[in-house]
Amino acid sequence: MYVINSNGEKEPFSFQKLYRSIRRVGTPPKLAMEIANAIEKEVYSGISTSDIFKKVKRLIYPRLKRAALRFNLKKGMRKLGPSGFPFEKFIGEIFKKMGFEVKINQHLPGFCLKDYEIDFIAKKGNLIYVGECKYRNYAGEKVHSKDALVNYARFLDILKGPYFKTQKYKNFKVKSVLVTNEKFTTSSLVYSKCNNIGLLGWKYPKNRGLEYLIEEYALYPITILPSLRGPLREIFVSEKMMLVQDVVKINPKKFSKIFRVPPKLIFSLTEEAKSLLKI
């Protein structure tokens, strides 16, 4: 029996892979096995992995709300950009949690070209990351070698330019880093490793990828919450609030009055946020 993955390719159905994905979000072993067995009975050759995902979430949600919300992480990440929540700002928050000083959307001069727009600059100790974010809207999209090539060429021109030639940065190590919410192709990994380019993506580096850092620092994007829809989405975009942590800080009654939205919508959102953050 085979399934259709996010790239539109056939792959064998794996019960163990299904079970591990259910366990990964904090579902107890017994319940995870029960759900995996139930899903296995519904699976048929040619079913998409996205349909399996929906079935799993439907079974988890009534019994373990927090696990169901965490299971929605990757899909929530793909909603950031189109919803008006800038991916580079989200990544900036992650680097801040790791102890970096972060500046978003900076303009740096190069040697050949006078101006480059950089997604972020992160500094800690004597290390500086010049960051490029490659946000992907659709499941299965990857960062290719051409993306890595363009990123590194820009980085080299910036290094030759006047910005990092000043005395201020004399003892700093400046490094390029490429970040995505999806995965890297093999060729982009090979090229980046060869040129000592830092990479951060979904499940990369192994056991320290983007999903790991989000879980470690509880920096869940607000788009992971099912109740963020309709006018609420636009309100949070306008207020530049993009983390679940931001939601638990608001006063539902006051927020409802200011933005003229039904209180029940705000309460639903805050309850989901508290459940996810175990507050």
Phi and psi dihedrals of 179, rounded to 5?
A: -125, 140
- What residues contact residue 81 under an 8 Å CB cut-off, 6+ apart? 87, 135, 137
pLDDT digits (tens, 9 = 90+) for 15-39: 999 999 999 999 999 999 999 999 9
Q: Percent of the chain at pLDDT above 70?
A: 100
Q: Write down the residue that tokens 């609030």 correspond to.
A: 241
Residue 166 CB neighbours (<10 A) = 8
> In this predicted structure, what is the pLDDT of residue 8?
85
Instruction: Answer whether residue 81 shows pLDDT above 90.
Output: no
> In this predicted structure, what is the pLDDT of residue 231?
84
Q: Are 276 and 69 in contact (CB under 8 A)?
A: yes
pLDDT digits (tens, 9 = 90+) for 135-155: 998 888 999 999 999 999 999
Architecture of domain 87-217: 3-Layer(aba) Sandwich (3.40)
Instruction: Provide mean pLDDT across the span 194-198.
Output: 97
> In this predicted structure, what is the pLDDT of residue 21?
93
Instruction: Answer whether residue 83 shows pLDDT above 80.
Output: no
Residue 6 binned pLDDT confidence (cut-offs 50, 70, 90): confident
Instruction: Provide mean pLDDT across the span 71-100.
Output: 91
Rounded to whole angstroms, how far apart are CA atoms 186 and 192? 10
Q: Are 133 and 179 in contact (CB under 8 A)?
A: yes
Per residue in 73-85, is it b (16+ CB within 10 Å) or e — as a string? Answer: bbebbbbbbebeb
> In this predicted structure, what is the pLDDT of residue 18?
95
Rounded to whole angstroms, how far apart are CA atoms 52 and 83? 25
Instruction: Provide mean pLDDT across the span 36-49.
Output: 95
